[in-house]
A and B are shown apart, each in its own frame.
Chain A
């Protein structure tokens, strides 16, 4: 199927479609649904075992890119090389931890012809886990009380003040519900080792888990909002099944967030509705969620809209979507030749 977008070359990160899935594969599926199969998708991976690398019907070629800790110079050099090979039109970064670097080099990428549609560093900072409570207070949004933890003493203080159960969260990813000091300590040490400081202790709110996928235009509006109720949640807290729902309060919440931040790009609100129907924002992820293809199936292709906006098109806000659309995630054994894995590992390209 040829479209006006045929030949468009889009780089996508987050190909780790594992039990803590990155959004990349779902984003690519959305792009193919939106633009047809004649676009070229370039996977940008960090590790050789990211499943999306080997999904050849979705990803045309994958290049390994340096870890965020390598800094912006290394990332810029690698992307320049990839651009020389592929002539990238747009890049969609899908990891929280890499966004900082991508935002910093966005202007330089634009100069060489690679478009992005990303929030500013200030927007990114304001919704950061460690600033979320203050952000909520300032903007009239309900956020569970939290404390930043830099030491075991901080954890003890948080436990005394917030009580158990406590949600212990990593700076970028992972969260554990701790019901006593022993499990809180274990989670604290585990998370600070993987993600560094601060670890965050958040008040535990009991209720129904809802996520909202949305796309901000950078001028205080959302061009798309799709809420999803989690129906099956894994031990890691990931939605493994969910259904689209409609609720004006959720739409208002997303609009309030976009207005308060002038958010530019994709984002996800992680919400708990407590027994009094109060909506608490647990986290705001600055990227598409891994379940974003559900929004496409419900009638709103947010990744395709983001690409169009990155290319300078004006996208009208879309409010219609189908409720009662479900996703049920599953695992699938992708069978590949060891030679492919070897190529990816040795040369960083496949």
Chain B
């Protein structure tokens, strides 16, 4: 999974898609994940990091992750669709 390379993200959670002019506001967790994805971290690495830092079980995280991916797809921010279940 990759965020489109031209997508601009800021540390305070503002996301701008220069191809469409769409902009979004992400909460602190979402913007941290986006920055991690942009820096090249894999979904597995990001999930492991979240499991270590926060009180959340793996099943709940997977469900939230799937919701998050759907939102990214709807917002047209992903480079290509994931094919490894991430």
Which residues of chain A have a CB within 8 Å of any CB of chain B? 208, 210, 228-229, 231, 242-247, 323-324
Contacts and interface: CB of A to CB of B under 8 A. Distances in A.
Contacts of B21: 208, 210, 228-229, 231, 242-243, 245
A231 B20 CA distance: 11
Contacts of A208: 20-21
Nearest to B8: A324
B20 A229 contact: yes
Contacts of B23: 243
Contacts of A247: 19-20
Rank and list the top 9 A-B pairs by shortest CB-CB distance, nearest first. Answer: A229-B21, A323-B18, A245-B21, A243-B21, A246-B18, A247-B19, A324-B16, A245-B18, A324-B18
A228 B6 CA distance: 16
18 contacts: A208-B21, A210-B21, A242-B21, A243-B21, A243-B23, A244-B18, A245-B18, A245-B19, A245-B20, A245-B21, A246-B6, A246-B19, A247-B19, A247-B20, A323-B18, A324-B8, A324-B16, A324-B18
A244 B16 CA distance: 11
Interface residues of B, number: 8
Contacts of B6: 246
A248 to B, nearest CB: 9
A323 B6 CA distance: 10
Given A228-B21, A245-B19, A246-B18, 8 more contacts: A208-B21, A229-B21, A243-B21, A243-B23, A245-B20, A245-B21, A247-B19, A324-B18
Contacts of A243: 21, 23
Main secondary structure of the interface of A (DSSP, over half): strand
Contacts, number: 24
A4 to B, nearest CB: 34
B28 to A, nearest CB: 22
Interface of B: 6, 8, 16, 18-21, 23
Nearest to B6: A246
A113 B23 CA distance: 48
Nearest to B76: A277
Nearest to A227: B21
Nearest to B22: A229
Contacts of B8: 324
A245 B6 CA distance: 11
Nearest to A247: B19
B7 to A, nearest CB: 11
B29 to A, nearest CB: 24
Nearest to A209: B21
A231 B17 CA distance: 13
Contacts of A245: 18-21
Nearest to B16: A324
Most buried by A among B8, B16, B18, B23: B18
Contacts of B19: 245-247
Contacts of A246: 6, 18-19
Most buried by A among B6, B8, B20: B20
A246 B19 CA distance: 5
Most buried by A among B16, B18, B21: B21
A337 to B, nearest CB: 42
A244 B18 CA distance: 8
A243 B19 CA distance: 11
Contacts of A231: 21
Most buried by B among A208, A228, A242, A323: A323
Contacts of B16: 324
Nearest to A273: B20
Contacts of A229: 20-21
